[in-house]
């Protein structure tokens, strides 16, 4: 069977689902294809941000792990159902279960769960297929029955006694902190010789020492030689070591979901990482085929996928002004306890780029709300341009930093001098009000 459609979206991720709603609001019909009925709404709500943050919070609140997993599952199934109906209940939107694959530039085949196939010839195609965990080629790792990914880690029936995590990036550190709260002994193995290398050393040292103080074992500069089921052999400082794990969580990055998309049948180009190559307006190398979110490479965050959708909508229905190159400020938060958040430049970037800066720094212990919350660890660092008074960047390692960072981003985005944040009336007691003090000359 072959259908002609105006808009075809492959993947029910953040960008794709939001775009589907916008297209329908413009009176246009849309077909959206999703390969798994457990993934309506995409990675974030089902197996990514929201379930992990729910488990992190419940771990901090000392909820027993099985209960926390149960609550997490209730939340994800509620959100999945809500997301499905938000689209499927609209007259102009058709949600199709099935795996999509290109047969030609504008021709897509969908393999449905019952084995039947439908073809769609589409005027416009939007690829939003996300990413999948990348399996490092360590001998024996793929065959180990102790190996899990982040999705499986969040569905365990009990917290492992000894969790070994390969990779000390976002997932590795967030899950290390989370499982430590559920009572697991946690060891993190990372091949980098520097811990969280993109951060300033004083901040990284503070995070490292706080994690070590919580008995999380972090081993850097590690070369993993082999995995024999639950035994991991690695080299560090020229010596061979072995450790035994109840579970081995592989958190060594995620790669775009392009391998099974049939792109070899098209003129859609990918780069050496498998990411779809896009222009500044997010069109691929085939006109009227766009890529949004993780699948196009670059930062892998839900809010990037959402913002990609803004670029596409602006091309289709707006002033055609908003482009990828306009997105210069992207904040992030690593949800440790306490969280580490960042926007713009830090000291090491400023020095490397020869940018002059004035540094404002405050220990979290000086903030009343931190005392109220019994979480006095961490630091605020804000860099300001001494000539213009504009904020160059901020790193906040502090409880609630994931909220405060958004206010600083807003100030930077709107070119507000730092004095505006310094002299603002803030509610009390809050972590935000620390900006009154941290920015004092």
Ligand X SMILES: NC(=O)c1ccc[n+]([C@@H]2O[C@H](COP(=O)([O-])OP(=O)(O)OC[C@H]3O[C@@H](n4cnc5c(N)ncnc54)[C@H](O)[C@@H]3O)[C@@H](O)[C@H]2O)c1
Cβ 243 to ligand FAD, closest distance in Å?
A: 23
167 is in an annotated binding site: yes
d(Cα 247, Cα 208) in Å, to the nearest integer? 23
Render the burial of 269-300: b for 16+ CB within 10 Å, e for the rest: ebeeebbbebeeebbbebeebbbbbbbbbeeb
Q: Which two tokens stand for residue 393?
A: 């960047």
CB 292 within 8 A of CB 23: no
Stretch that binds ligand FAD, among 127-135, 185-193, 237-245, 423-431 (CB under 6 A): 127-135
d(Cα 225, Cα 241) in Å, to the nearest integer? 10
Residue number, nearest CB to ligand X: 169
6 is in an annotated binding site: no
Q: Say which entry of ligand X, ligand FAD, none residue 42 contacts (CB below 5 to 8 A, set by partner kind).
A: ligand FAD
Q: Say which entry of ligand FAD, ligand X, none residue 293 contacts (CB below 5 to 8 A, set by partner kind).
A: ligand FAD
Site string for ligand FAD, 324-353 (x = CB under 6 A): -----------x------------------
129 is in an annotated binding site: yes
Cβ 20 to ligand FAD, closest distance in Å?
A: 12
Cβ 436 to ligand X, closest distance in Å?
A: 28
Per rule CB under 6 A, is residue 15 in the interface with ligand FAD? yes
Stretch that binds ligand X, among 65-73, 187-195, 374-382, 430-438 (CB under 6 A): 187-195
Of 34, 199, 375, 400, which lies in the binding site for ligand FAD, with binding defined by CB under 6 A?
34
For residue 11, which of 287, 317, 290, 270 has the smallest C-alpha distance? 290
CB 293 within 8 A of CB 305: yes
Sequence-separated (6 or more) residues with CB below 8 Å from residue 409: 329, 331, 343
Per rule CB under 6 A, is residue 275 in the interface with ligand FAD? no
Residues within window 36-95 making contact with ligand FAD, judged by CB under 6 A: 36, 39, 42-44, 48-49, 52-53
User: Is 191 a residue of the active site?
Assistant: no
292 is in an annotated binding site: no
Closer by beta carbon to ligand FAD, 99 or else 369: 99
Residues within window 273-312 making contact with ligand X, judged by CB under 6 A: 300-301
Q: Say which entry of ligand X, ligand FAD, none residue 10 contacts (CB below 5 to 8 A, set by partner kind).
A: ligand FAD
d(Cα 50, Cα 72) in Å, to the nearest integer? 9
297 is in an annotated binding site: no
Residues within window 241-280 making contact with ligand X, judged by CB under 6 A: 251-254
Q: Say which entry of ligand X, ligand FAD, none residue 426 contacts (CB below 5 to 8 A, set by partner kind).
A: none
Sequence-separated (6 or more) residues with CB below 8 Å from residue 236: 219, 221, 222, 223
Residues within window 324-353 making contact with ligand X, judged by CB under 6 A: 332-335
CB 354 within 8 A of CB 392: no
Per rule CB under 6 A, is residue 13 in the interface with ligand FAD? yes
41 is in an annotated binding site: no
53 is in an annotated binding site: yes
Q: Indicate which residues carry an active-site annotation.
A: 428
Q: Which residues are annotated as a binding site?
A: 53, 129-131, 167-174, 253, 294
Per CB under 6 A, residues contacting ligand FAD are 10-15, 33-36, 39, 42-44, 48-49, 52-53, 99-100, 128-130, 150, 171, 257, 260-261, 293-295, 300-303, 305, 335
Per CB under 6 A, residues contacting ligand X are 136, 166-172, 174, 189-192, 224, 251-254, 300-301, 332-335
Q: Which residues are annotated as a binding site for FAD?
A: 53, 129-131, 294
């Amino acid at each position: 069977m072959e259908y002609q459609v105006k808009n075809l979206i492959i993947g029910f991720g953040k960008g794709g689902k939001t775009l589907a709603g916008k297209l329908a609001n413009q009176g246009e019909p849309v077909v959206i294809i999703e390969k798994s009925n457990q993934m309506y709404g995409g990675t974030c709500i089902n197996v990514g941000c929201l379930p992990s943050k729910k488990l992190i919070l419940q771990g901090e609140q000392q909820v027993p792990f099985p209960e926390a997993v149960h609550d997490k599952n209730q939340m994800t199934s509620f959100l999945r159902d809500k997301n499905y109906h938000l689209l499927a209940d609209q007259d102009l939107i058709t949600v199709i279960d099935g795996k999509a694959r290109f047969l030609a530039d504008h021709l897509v085949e969908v393999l449905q769960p019952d084995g039947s196939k439908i073809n769609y010839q589409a005027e416009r195609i939007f690829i939003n297929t996300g990413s999948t965990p990348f399996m490092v080629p360590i001998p024996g790792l793929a065959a180990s029955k102790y190996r899990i990914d982040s999705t499986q880690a969040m569905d365990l029936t009990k917290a492992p006694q000894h969790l070994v995590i390969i990779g000390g990036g976002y997932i590795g550190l967030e899950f290390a902190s989370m499982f430590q709260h559920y009572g697991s002994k946690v060891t993190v193995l990372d091949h980098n010789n520097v811990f969280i290398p993109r951060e300033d050393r004083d901040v990284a040292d503070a995070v490292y020492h706080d994690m070590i103080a919580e008995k999380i074992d972090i081993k850097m500069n590690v070369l993993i030689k082999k995995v024999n089921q639950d035994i991991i052999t690695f080299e560090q400082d020229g010596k061979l070591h072995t450790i035994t794990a109840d579970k081995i969580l592989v958190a060594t990055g995620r790669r775009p979901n392009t391998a099974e998309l049939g792109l070899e049948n098209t003129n859609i180009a990918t780069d050496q990482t498998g990411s779809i190559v896009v222009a500044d307006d997010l069109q691929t190398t085939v006109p009227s085929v766009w890529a949004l979110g993780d699948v196009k490479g670059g930062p892998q965050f839900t809010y990037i996928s959402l913002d990609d959708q803004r670029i596409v909508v602006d091309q289709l229905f707006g002033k055609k002004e908003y482009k990828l190159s306009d997105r210069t400020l992207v904040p992030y938060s690593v949800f440790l306890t306490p969280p580490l958040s960042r926007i713009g430049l830090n000291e090491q970037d400023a020095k490397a780029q020869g940018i002059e800066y004035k540094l404002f720094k405050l220990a979290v212990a000086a903030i009343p709300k931190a005392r109220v919350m019994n979480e006095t660890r961490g630091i605020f660092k804000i860099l300001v341009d001494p000539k213009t008074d504009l904020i160059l960047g901020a790193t906040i390692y502090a409880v609630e930093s994931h909220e405060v960072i958004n206010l600083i981003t807003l100030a930077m985005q709107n070119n507000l001098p730092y004095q505006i944040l310094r002299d603002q009336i803030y509610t009390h007691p809050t972590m935000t009000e620390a900006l009154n003090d941290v920015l004092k000359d």
